[in-house]
Amino acid sequence: MLDKLIMYLEYPFVRYAIIVGVLIALCSSLLGVTLVLKRFSFIGDGLSHVAFGALAIASVLKLTQKMVLILPITVLCAVLLLRTGQNTKIKGDAMIAMLSVGALAFGYMLMHLFSTSTNLSGDVCSTLFGSTSILTLTAGEVGLCIVLSIVVLSLFVIFYHKIFDVTFDENFSRAVGTKTDIYNLLIAVIIAVIIVLAMNLVGSLLISALIIFPALSAMRVFKSFLSVTICSAVFSVSGALIGILISILAGTPVGSTIVVADAVLFALFCLTGAVKSR
Amino acid sequence: MSEKRAQIVCKALSLGYENQAVVEDLSFTVHSGDYLCIVGENGAGKTTLMRTLLGLIEPLSGEIVIGDGLRLNEIGYLPQQTEVQKDFPASVWEVVLSGCQARKGLRPFYNKEEKKLAEEMMQKMQIENFRGHCYRELSGGQQQRVLLARALCAARKILLLDEPVSGLDPKVTAQMYQLIKELNEEGITIIMISHDISAAVRYASHILHISDHIFFGTTEEYRNSKTGQFFLSMEGGAVDA
C-alpha cells in the first residue's frame, strides 16, 4: 500500500492536490467557529450555490481564468446577504434560500443550454461534488490558491482578536466604539474567498462541511476560543489529508471522501467530549 | 450638586426605531458619581434608552450632550446575555481581555499594560481563580462578574448596566447589588436598568421612571411623588427601606 502511495506521490498533480487540499482545509476551518456561533452557517451554504452559478456563467463565456468572474460575484453576494441578514424587516434566511436555489437552477440551465460537452451530467456532477477538478489543477491555479490562502491566513491572524470581539458580543463591541460593520464585512469577504477556493476541493455542495465540521467538533472538546480555533485547524487539515490519501488509494471521489472522513472524526470528538464531561 | 460635573445631559429626547417613537420628550442629567436607576414596565423603552446612550441607535429627535471629558465610547457596558454566549467557547481571560479592545485599536495583539489591566479587574471582581475556565460553564453570578470586569476594562468613569440581576438567585442578587454599590462608592457613575423598584430606591441616588408619565429626580423625590408611591405600594410596601 505504501509503495502505491509513494508511486502516486511522484506525480505532480497528486502533490498539487495535497498542497491545495491542506491549504483550503486550513483556511476554511478558521472562520468556522465564528460562522457557527453567529448563526451564519447558512450564508456559507448559500454562497457556495452562488459560486456554482457564477462558474456556469464563466464556462458559458468560455473564460480561461474562471476565478476572475467567480470571485467578485461571490464576494458581492456575501456582502448583500450580510446586509439583508442584519435587516430584520426582510427575512434573511428566506432571502438566502431564494438566492441559493435560484443560482443553482440558473447555473444548471446555462450549462444545459450552452454546453458543448458531450457529458453534461458528468460536468455538473463534478462541479457540485468536486470529483475530479482537484486532480486537474494547473501550476497557475495552485499558485493562486497559495496566494489567496496566505492572504486569508494573515487577515485572520491580524484581526483574530477583533473577530473574537464581534463574535462574542457585538453590542458590547459597538458600544466601546469598534466598527463592527467593517469586521462583519471582512468576515463575509473572507468566507466568499474561502468558498471559491474550496470549490476546487470538494465541489460547491459539500463546502459547508469543510467549514462547519471542524468547528463543531472542536467545540465539543475545548473550552477557549484560541484552543477551539487551533483544534479545528488541526482537525480540518487531518481530515483533508486522510480523505485525499484514501481517495487516491481507493479511487473514491476526493470531495465526498474528505467529508466522510470529517464526519467520522466528528463522531470521535463527540465521544471524547461526552467522556470528558462525565 | 454644584461641584459635581454633568457627564450626560439628555434634552427633549425622542427615542425609538424607524420613526416609531417609544419614548417622547425625555430630559435628564447624570452627574459624576450618581447612581441612576431606570425603571419602568417592559416595552416602556428602557433598553431603547440605553442603546441610544451607548450610540448603538440614533435618537429620533433631541440631543445627548456628553461632558466631563467623556467620550461616548468610554462608557462601560454590561449587556444582557445573548443567545450566542450560551454556547460560546471562550475562557474567562479571553472575555475580560476583550474589554480592552478599544484601547488596542488596530494593533493585532494586546500589550502588557492591557493584560495587566485585565488582571487587575479580574482580581477586583474576585474571579482570578476562574481565569482558564470556560465562560459558559460558570454560574450566573460568576458570569456577571466576568462581564463587569470586562466593562471595567473598557471604562473607569461610567458604567451602564442592563438588568444586571436578571436570572440570579436572591443571595447572588444581593451580592451583585453590593458589588455595584462599592463601585459607585469608588466614584464610578452607575446607570442601571432594573425591574426591581424596591432595590432601586434602596441603592440608587436618582430614579428615572419611564411609563406614560415620565419621572426624573432623586430617590427622595421619587418616594414622595405620586408615581413613586403608586409603584412602591404595588411592590408591597418597600418604602421603609
| Distance between CA atoms of residues B10 and A272, nearest Å | 55
Instruction: Say if CB A20 and CB A202 are below 8 A apart.
Output: no
pLDDT digit string, tens, across residues B190-221: 999 988 888 888 899 999 988 878 889 888 88
pLDDT exceeds cutoff 50 at B239 = no
Taking contacts as CB-CB distances below 8 angstroms, the residues of chain B near A174 are 54-56
Q: DSSP per residue over B156-209, as a string?
A: SSEEEEESTTTT--HHHHHHHHHHHHHHHHTT-EEEEE-S-HHHHHHH-SEEEE
- The C-alpha of A178 sits at a distance from chain B's nearest C-alpha, in angstroms, of 7
Taking contacts as CB-CB distances below 8 angstroms, the residues of chain A near B87 are 37, 219
- The C-alpha of A223 sits at a distance from chain B's nearest C-alpha, in angstroms, of 5
Interface contact flag, A176 B132, Cβ < 8 Å: no
What one-character DSSP code corresponds to residue B91? B
**pLDDT value for A271:** 93
Q: Determine the residue among B58, B78, B100, B101 to mutate to test chain A binding: the one whose Cβ has the most chain A Cβ atoms within 10 Å.
A: B101
Largest separation between any pair of C-alpha atoms in chain B: 54
Cα–Cα nearest to A277, from A207, A219, A201, A230: A219
Taking contacts as CB-CB distances below 8 angstroms, the residues of chain B near A35 are none
Side-chain half-sphere CA neighbours of A237 within 13 A: 11
CA B116 to chain centre: 24
Taking contacts as CB-CB distances below 8 angstroms, the residues of chain B near A226 are 91, 94
The ipTM is 0.83
**pLDDT value for A228:** 94
Interface contact flag, A165 B150, Cβ < 8 Å: no
- The domain ranges of chain A are 2-276
- Mean of pLDDT values over B177-202: 89
Per-window interface: B 70-109 vs A, CB < 8 A:
72-73, 75, 77, 79, 82, 84-85, 87-91, 93-95, 98-99, 101-102, 104, 108-109
Interface contact flag, A225 B89, Cβ < 8 Å: yes
pLDDT tens, residue order, chain A (278 aa): 788 888 888 888 888 888 888 998 999 898 888 888 877 777 778 888 898 889 888 888 887 777 788 889 999 988 887 776 555 455 667 777 888 889 889 888 888 887 666 677 777 777 777 656 666 777 888 888 899 899 999 999 999 999 999 889 888 888 888 888 888 888 888 988 888 888 867 777 778 888 889 999 999 899 899 999 999 999 999 999 999 889 888 888 888 899 999 999 999 999 998 888 77
pLDDT exceeds cutoff 50 at B2 = no
Name beta bridge partners: B20: B17
Strand B189-193 vs strand B158-162: parallel, antiparallel, or unpaired? parallel
Domains of chain B with CATH codes: 1-70+158-241 (3.40.50.300), 82-156 (no CATH)
Interface contact flag, B133 A177, Cβ < 8 Å: no
Which residue in the set B91, B137, B154 is minimally distant from A176, CB to CB? B154
Q: What is the pTM of this model?
A: 0.85
Kind and range of the H or E run holding B79: none
Class of residue B165 by CB neighbours under 10 A (exposed 0-12, middle 13-18, buried 19+): buried
Interface contact flag, B90 A225, Cβ < 8 Å: yes
- Residue percentage of chain B with pLDDT more than 70: 95
CATH number for the region A2-276 comes to 1.10.3470.10
| Distance between CA atoms of residues B237 and B229, nearest Å | 9
Residue A247, number of CB atoms within 10 A of its CB: 23
Our CA angle for A225, A228, A231, nearest 5°, is 150
**pLDDT value for A260:** 93
Taking contacts as CB-CB distances below 8 angstroms, the residues of chain A near B133 are 223
Interface contact flag, B77 A173, Cβ < 8 Å: no
| Distance between CA atoms of residues A229 and A160, nearest Å | 10
What one-character DSSP code corresponds to residue B72? G
pLDDT exceeds cutoff 50 at B1 = no
Taking contacts as CB-CB distances below 8 angstroms, the residues of chain B near A162 are 101
Confidence of residue B240 (pLDDT cuts 50, 70, 90): very low
The residue with cell 491545495 is: A20
**pLDDT value for A154:** 94
Taking contacts as CB-CB distances below 8 angstroms, the residues of chain A near B134 are 223-224
Confidence of residue B72 (pLDDT cuts 50, 70, 90): low
| Distance between CA atoms of residues A213 and A265, nearest Å | 9
| Distance between CA atoms of residues B157 and B65, nearest Å | 16
pLDDT digit string, tens, across residues B123-168: 988 898 998 899 988 988 899 999 999 999 988 788 999 888 888 8
Interface contact flag, A176 B82, Cβ < 8 Å: no
Return the SS3 of A43. Answer: helix
Interface contact flag, B110 A161, Cβ < 8 Å: yes
